[in-house]
Structure 1
Amino acid sequence: MHLNILQMRTIILCLLFIFLMSPDVSAQNYTFKIITVIESIVPNGLGRSRMISAEESRDYKEYTTSRTGEDDDRNKSDRSEIRVKKFDETKLLNFFNLGGIRFQNIAANDAVVTSKLNELSAQGWELAFINTGVESHSGDDDSTGLFITRYVFRRAN
């Protein structure tokens, strides 16, 4: 059976189309970046609110020990080795002031955080996850309170 030129071109184009349209079965690799927002909910505006972004990386393996029944040694890493000294710290406003909850401060924080999120998006980072937590002020005997939000970004390698 002999194929003419037109039939061969058709077969080649079909195979090329199948190859180009087939899903990529290789695993996607990402680089991740975390932005942490800590907003104070301490009464009278006494707390500190910040947006934090590490600007240097750490390899978790250097600070990890795999423990077993036979090998129960703990990791001997010094905390100063883990500590990051190069990071961005953006000042935010506290949720409370002397008059109570301050909605204008919340709106201002939203504007600042949105600016950071938009900048990361423009740099090719995709917002993958958001995690939140709260340790709230619970009355006169408790002068603490934090609202923390972690924005986890990813970018394809």
Structure 2
Amino acid sequence: MKILGIMLKGLFIQILFLLPLTLPAQTRGIVWEYQIVTAVESVIPGGLGRSRLLLSDDGGVLEEYKMENFFSLLGINFKNIKSNDLLVVQKFNELGEEGWELANTVSGVYSKSDVSVTDSKSGVGASSSGEGIFITRYIFRRQKSR
């Protein structure tokens, strides 16, 4: 009887270890779907640039929202920055209500390289074009419905 108990215990342990291998891959882990939100913010002086918030999903649907430029004719426009932040927060809240969570953020800057201005003390050139864009990609995910 004792040997039968040991054998059953060993069989039970083997089943516990082998059972996960027999389950389909999707039932073992979470399957995610993704949505990307891209903020393109212009830093071209005088408000001449174009700034946009782009939302795209895996179905190829693209939503585009106009954002205000960082700069006006007088320089940095903090009212525009606040307006842009409100738009981004509004869209993030909508995504959160739909079950999306922020998984990752990637950002980059592009600016024209113009070394016509040189620091007289160090001799190091600096960009004087004042033109460029900030791009931030927000990667959202949610558990895919089965």
TM-score range, shorter chain: 0.5 to 0.7
Of 54, 74, 79 in structure 2, the residue corresponding to residue 104 of structure 1 is 79
- For 1:82-101, what per-residue CA distance to the aligned partner results, in whole angstroms no more than 9, with x for missing partners? xx6x4211000000010011
Quick one: distance in 2 between partners of 1:126 and 1:143?
A: 35
* Matched letter for residue 148 of structure 1: I
Of 32, 35, 39 in structure 2, the residue corresponding to residue 33 of structure 1 is 35
DSSP-derived class of the 2:83 partner:
helix
* Matched letter for residue 48 of structure 2: L
Match of 1:149 in 2: 136
Written as runs of structure 1 = structure 2, the 5 A alignment for 1:12-27 is: 26-27=28-29
- For 1:60-96, what per-residue CA distance to the aligned partner results, in whole angstroms no more than 9, with x for missing partners? xxxxxxxxxxxxxxxxxxxxxxxx6x42110000000
Quick one: distance in 2 between partners of 1:46 and 1:143?
A: 12
Choose between structure 1 and 2 for higher RCO, CA contacts under 8 A separated by at least 6 residues: 1
Unaligned runs of at least 5 residues, structure 2: 2-26, 113-126
Written as runs of structure 1 = structure 2, the 5 A alignment for 1:18-97 is: 26-54=28-56, 57=59, 86-97=61-72
Aligned-CA RMSD value: 2.0
DSSP-derived class of the 2:28 partner:
coil
TM-score, normalised via structure 2 length: 0.66
Aligned length: 105
The answer to whether the 8 A contact 2:34-2:58 is kept is no
CA-CA distance at 1:107 after TM superposition? 0.8
- For 1:104-126, what per-residue CA distance to the aligned partner results, in whole angstroms no more than 9, with x for missing partners? 11111000000000000000001
Quick one: distance in 2 between partners of 1:114 and 1:148?
A: 17
Q: Aligned residues: percent identity?
A: 46
Quick one: distance in 1 between partners of 2:28 and 2:57?
A: 30
Match of 2:12 in 1: none
Quick one: distance in 1 between partners of 2:45 and 2:139?
A: 29
Segment of structure 1 superposing worse, 142-151 or 45-54: 142-151
The answer to whether the 8 A contact 2:35-2:57 is kept is no
Match of 2:100 in 1: 125
CA-CA distance at 1:144 after TM superposition? 3.0
Quick one: distance in 2 between partners of 1:56 and 1:100?
A: 38
Match of 2:17 in 1: none
Q: Following TM superposition, where does structure 1 have runs of at least 4 consecutive aligned residues deviating by more than 3 angstroms? A: none
